[in-house]
Structure 1
Amino acid sequence: MQIDLFAEARRQAEICNACRYCEGYCSVFPALHRERAFADGDITQLANLCHNCRGCYYACQYTAPHEFDLNLPKALAEVRQESWKSHAWPAGFAALFDRSGVAIGLGVSVAIALLFALAQGLRPAGGEGFYAYMSHSLMVAIFAPAFLLPLLAIAMSLGSYWKSVGGGRFHLADLIAAAKSAGRMKNLEGGHGEGCNFEDEDRFSHARRYFHQATLYGFLLCFASTSSGTILHYGFGLHAPYGLFSLPKLFGVPGGILLCIGTAGLAYLKTKADRNLGAPRVWGGEMAFVLLLFAVSATGLLLYAATGTGLVAWLLPIHLGTVLTFFVLTPYSKMAHGFYRMAALTREAEKQRTQ
């Protein structure tokens, strides 16, 4: 018999609300302690505030074999996954990725890479760098919809989520407060600033926080690299390839290195952690996302290092295949958690401001 995920999370939240031992651990508990009863929207909001640091589980006196059998990180992780699937637009894709994330990510990447390899048969008569193998117009025609359509899907999903958690018309100050919390990874600092217990009950560590920050800032730098290249191309008529001391490279190279470090570290920590304190049924999908993001950054760095050699013809389709796969799967993979968590942090900032 399948457990009602919301009923189980509600049961555990009510016990936590009576105990209040973990009040200072993260944003979940002050938000939880403001409530006396928990609607499904309240549970969804708590689940997306949770960063799964697991400190509350290891500190709890009511975990198994106690009859209360509390495992709040797992209960919230299950609800969190369910919320992403229920709000995903179009519906159905997220559940498929959860079940077969690694196979889907690898299969789509290989298929798209092969298509890009075949597209090199249409290589332009002229062009420098990457554009000697594939025209700029062809890349734009492929990547523009692959970037914009997932953004539309995410916007629709977040709109549904925001309505379900009772979000109102937030102020810019709420968004700024959420961005500060996310940038600092405040909820991974632990109740006393010692870090979290993600890998080991007896070991407090900031490793997961730092790897998350490396991934976040690496991704933002890579996005800034692409954006600056677009501005240089269309705004100033300066076309790729760009030199090492140009904005696209000054953003992109450090960003790629940070992404490699961050995702490799997160993947390693994930193999060391207790799966039963998360949502074990979607472990493969979560790992697939981390590995895919690592592949995007690693192939990008290799491609840059191979500039001017015959390896570009092989590396270019592999890199473009992983990038396009990442874009297409973003609304339905673990990447969605960043958007939902920002929405949850913004909603929490709104509640703090208005209550």
Structure 2
Amino acid sequence: MSLDTTLDTNTEDLIAEARRQVEICNACRYCEGFCSVFPAMTRQKAFADGDITQLANLCHNCRGCYYSCQYTPPHEFALNLPAALAEVRQDSWERLVRPRRLARLFHTHGVALALGLVVGFALMFLAVSTMPPEDGEGFYAYLSHVAMVAIFLPAFVLPLVVAGVAVRDYWREIGAPRPAWRDFTVAMDRGARLKNLSGGQGQGCNFEREDRYTDARRWAHQAVMYGFLLCFASTSVATLMHYLLGMEAPYGPLALPKLLGVPGGILLTGGALWLAALKLRADPDLGAKRVWGGEMAFVLLLAFVAASGLALYWAGGTAALGTLLALHLGSVLVLFLLMPFTKMIHPMIRMAALVAEASQARRKAEGIGREPLAQT
């Protein structure tokens, strides 16, 4: 029995429409040289529900296929493959996390939810700071190190477990074969370079300017990705310095946590605001229109987390430090807690999709018979 029999009616309708469009595209094959979706599509003639979910998560919504297509409206086929795959992709993110209602709530009311939670947690941290620890410097003069660990460790680990379960369920749904180590290296290379955001042929993406190709969206994504990784590395290094070397914060401007965190914060802030600007210029009808607000809320939350962190760097020793710290900690806590329910889930599921695609491509090159991505 197929895993797909558990899908609800709305999911089945979205997949059925995406399947209709994919089958037309597979017959035409004009876009065969585009991103990873089209080579994967041409390896088969029939598509199970899990196959459509996999194709949707390979799609980076660059929209080049839409602007190259002769079957878009007003043609009777009415193809809008970027939007059809975006709806399936979005639905998969919402289905695979638990509880599902929270994911759907954020994606449809993201701005209000994120703003309310940030303000609420910031007020909580302000209240806690009125009872400061007996000793401590910098941030720890407002909230002890033990308290920070007690709050943020479970807020990071538990959502990460939820996200890991979602990735596991995604892998089961698409029915991918067991990957080889080389499949992970290929997927990591494509993910690190964001290869599919170059349109597959290196000419760039049509996301915000119709048939004008540009790498702006890829560069903005790379700024966000590498900025986030630098910030994460900064926190990780500071943790090791604290516990292994006994070197406690605050750190000087030339300390490794600052050398990693400041450039990371600048990249993350600039990249997130750039993505928001590109999103405002792009046609919402070529994506998952119903979650536009949730996507924008996530991008702005990332920007605020990074910008407030940079503000803390410059506010050290001033009267503004306590308020800025509360706002920053509140936004970081919201980002962590909502990680599986926002677009933060997409790098994890997309990496699984890239690994599955690398595995299928390798098997074809080695002459191994195709294993369907999803059982039918």
| Interval containing the TM-score (normalised by the shorter chain) | over 0.9
Stretches (4+) displaced over 4 A: none
Contact 1:109 1:321 in 2 (8 A): yes
* Alpha-carbon distance in structure 1 between the residues aligned to 2:111 and 2:181: 38
2:33 aligned counterpart, secondary structure:
coil
Q: Which amino acid aligns with 1:26?
A: C
Q: Are 1:210 and 2:198 counterparts? A: no
Contact 1:25 1:190 in 2 (8 A): yes
Match of 1:289 in 2: 298
Match of 1:106 in 2: 115
Cα deviations by residue, 1:175-230 (Å, 9 ceiling, x for unpaired): 22111101111001124322111011131110000000000000000000000011
Cα distance change, pair 101–241 in 1 and its aligned pair in 2 (3 A): same
Identity level (%): 60
Match of 1:156 in 2: 165
Q: Give the one of 122, 126, 132 matched to 2:131.
A: 122
Q: Which amino acid aligns with 1:345?
A: L
Match of 2:59 in 1: 50
Match of 2:89 in 1: 80
* Alpha-carbon distance in structure 1 between the residues aligned to 2:335 and 2:200: 34
Q: Which amino acid aligns with 2:339?
A: T
Q: Which amino acid aligns with 1:170?
A: P
Contact 1:150 1:327 in 2 (8 A): yes
- Give the CA deviation at 1:167: 2.2
Mean CA deviation greater in 167-176 or 116-125: 167-176
Gaps of 5+ in 2: 1-8, 365-376
Q: Are 1:340 and 2:349 counterparts? A: yes
Q: Are 1:59 and 2:68 counterparts? A: yes
Alignment TM-score, normalising by the size of structure 2? 0.93
* Alpha-carbon distance in structure 1 between the residues aligned to 2:273 and 2:305: 12
- Give the CA deviation at 1:122: 2.1
Q: Are 1:239 and 2:248 counterparts? A: yes
1:122 aligned counterpart, secondary structure:
coil
Contact 2:35 2:196 in 1 (8 A): yes
1:194-209 aligned at under 5 Å gives the runs: 194-209=203-218
Match of 1:193 in 2: 202
Match of 1:275 in 2: 284
Root-mean-square deviation (CA), in Å? 1.2
2:121 aligned counterpart, secondary structure:
helix
Contact 2:133 2:144 in 1 (8 A): yes
- Give the CA deviation at 1:92: 2.1
Contact 1:105 1:292 in 2 (8 A): yes
Q: Are 1:93 and 2:102 counterparts? A: yes
Q: Are 1:306 and 2:319 counterparts? A: no
2:100 aligned counterpart, secondary structure:
coil
Q: Which amino acid aligns with 1:279?
A: A
Contact 2:36 2:200 in 1 (8 A): no
Alignment TM-score, normalising by the size of structure 1? 0.98
Contact 1:90 1:153 in 2 (8 A): no
Contact 2:228 2:264 in 1 (8 A): yes
Aligned length: 355
Q: Give the one of 70, 80, 95 matched to 1:71.
A: 80
* Alpha-carbon distance in structure 2 between the residues aligned to 1:119 and 1:170: 48
Contact 2:199 2:205 in 1 (8 A): yes
Contact 1:194 1:204 in 2 (8 A): yes
Mean CA deviation greater in 168-177 or 257-266: 168-177
